[in-house]
Amino acid sequence: MTTAAPDEPSLHPRKATVTADRLVRGSVWDLDYTLLSTDTFVEQLTTSVLRRPWLVLVVGVWLVRGRGYCKDRIAALAATPPESWPVRPEALEQIAADKAEGRTIVLATAAHSRVARPLADHLGCFDTVLASTERHNLKSQRKSAAISRLARDEGWESYSYAGDCPADLPIWQAADEVRVVNPTPCLLRHLRALGKPVSVLGSIETGRAAVLQACRPHQWAKNLLLFLPMMLAHRVDMPTALASVIAFIAFSLCASGVYIINDIGDAAADRQHPHKRYRPFASGRLKITSGIQLAGLVFAAGLGLSWACLPIEFLGLMLLYLIANLAYSSRLKQVPVLDVLMLACMYALRLEAGAMAAGVPLSDWFLTFSLFFFTSLAFAKRYTELQRLEAAGGSAPAGRGYEVGDLRLLEMLGSASGYVSVLVLALYMNSDQMRSIYGESRLLWLVCPLVLYWITRLWLLANRGRLDDDPLVFAFRDRTSLCTGAACGVVVLMASLFARVAS
């Protein structure tokens, strides 16, 4: 093995001597979004910044010293194990076929050698590694020149290059065979215009389905909580309803941005999850850079809509929600119990935001009830995650502060929080505030056994392993939950009608 000069790309030959047959043809592979379904530098950079937001300023200084230096610092800081990178199986199959033909297999990447070398050693299929160093960023023309020098020195008659993006066009122009991974239709047209053999690995990506999935529109159901303050205050008039609808849209857009950032930061951990590994960023169907742009777009749309159409207090709550979510995504979700309380508070924040948008007061009783109620749901979410991990033979979920041994404790804390929420609701039924709205009628008290039933059934299903990861999304899909919610609504409506007749 030889060592590259400091100002040259990292050269890592696996064998000192090779046969003449192996010198005839080469098979050169890019790393990011080609051999792997992710961009190593962008993923390490994003994950590091999300965990340590103050690194934004430091990264700026590193970039001034050069992109190669920045990659070196980020790779040293992140220290990602090589086995955790998502390798494309179709790429490994093609590499095995090339190796069977006697080709020299080369990994040529703009990723830093701290990332490329351990991965090449882990896979054991590369003869040579060309990668960036602290002083040399192996990108585009520089990479093309390095590959051409290697081809000349090794005496190749021809070589193929596998890449994924327009930045690789200079290399494809110099190569004899074009291989492209998950190309866009536009890129594929440019490659076919080169007049060389073109083979496609993976699918031709449009990205629309992945963008929609990354926004998680099914999670917008949680934001229906913004309509509750309007309904509980009996202010169902057109201006109030329109303000609540706008608040729902704005909040949903910002929530989608939060989900995108959260999924980008969790990409490595999601790849170890049986279901989350199919998310757009974990699976590589959507690039992290595209996700960052998409998050900025939906954030701007949500905040702009709030600024233009809703009270300034609502915009302040939206900003608080975003800050809390970013803090949760960067660090707090790894702190046991605190992560659950943060989730519960963010649900309660939705209720407060709905009250601000509708211009109605929010009862202290209802806020107290919601704190315990949503704490119970947050514990149920963590309980379900641990339960599935236990069934899969794991011991601790990646990126979380819990262990399988905490299951019984979480079950106890979650069910207790749910029952306390019912107690708060029962105390509200005997309060002066309730009597001022509904009079002396005891009809509203029927909501208590309905909520008690739903909480008890939720934890029964959780104990049996029949609860989804998100209990609130489960509630919007579960027929029994919908019927229970409808029954609560009927009780509240009848109590309100009786109060009007009595007055």
Mean pLDDT is highest, among 315-324, 449-458, 466-475, 483-492, for 449-458
pTM, two decimals, is 0.78
Across the range 399-425, mean pLDDT stands at 89
On the question of pLDDT at 126 being above 50, the answer is yes
**Interval 351-369: pLDDT, tens:** 999 999 998 888 888 889 9
Return the pLDDT at 332: 81
Both tokens of 112, joined, read: 């830093």
Q: Band the pLDDT of 397: cuts 50, 70, 90.
A: low
Give the chain's domain count. Answer: 3
What does the alpha-carbon distance between residue 27 and residue 45 come to, in Å, rounded to a whole number? 29
**Interval 313-358: pLDDT, tens:** 999 999 999 888 888 877 788 888 899 999 899 888 999 999 999 9
Taking alpha carbons only, the member of 213, 228, 406, 226 closest to residue 302 is: 226
**Residue 374 burial (10 A CB sphere; 0-12, 13-18, 19+):** buried
Q: Band the pLDDT of 11: cuts 50, 70, 90.
A: low
- 30 and 142 housed in the same domain: yes
Q: Are strands 198-201 and 104-112 parallel, antiparallel or unpaired?
A: unpaired
Question: What is the rounded average pLDDT for all residues in the chain?
Answer: 86
Both tokens of 200, joined, read: 């496609």
Taking alpha carbons only, the member of 121, 283, 290, 98 closest to residue 179 is: 98
4 lies in some domain: no
What does the alpha-carbon distance between residue 448 and residue 425 come to, in Å, rounded to a whole number? 7
* The last residue of a domain, from among 201, 228, 256: 201
Give first-to-last CA distance, the chain, whole Å: 91
- 447 and 356 housed in the same domain: no
Taking the CA atoms of the chain, what radius of gyration do you get in angstroms? 28
Q: What is the CATH number of the domain that holds 280?
A: 1.10.357.140
Taking alpha carbons only, the member of 59, 31, 35 closest to residue 46 is: 59
Q: Band the pLDDT of 202: cuts 50, 70, 90.
A: confident
Return the pLDDT at 469: 67
Q: What are phi and psi of 27, to 5 degrees?
A: -130, 105
Return the pLDDT at 6: 39
- 50 and 181 housed in the same domain: yes
Taking alpha carbons only, the member of 76, 82, 77, 71 closest to residue 133 is: 71
Percent of the chain with pLDDT over 70: 92
The domain containing residue 227 runs over which residues?
A: 220-362
Return the pLDDT at 167: 86
- 351 and 426 housed in the same domain: no
Both tokens of 313, joined, read: 């207090």
396 lies in some domain: yes
Both tokens of 203, joined, read: 């699918």
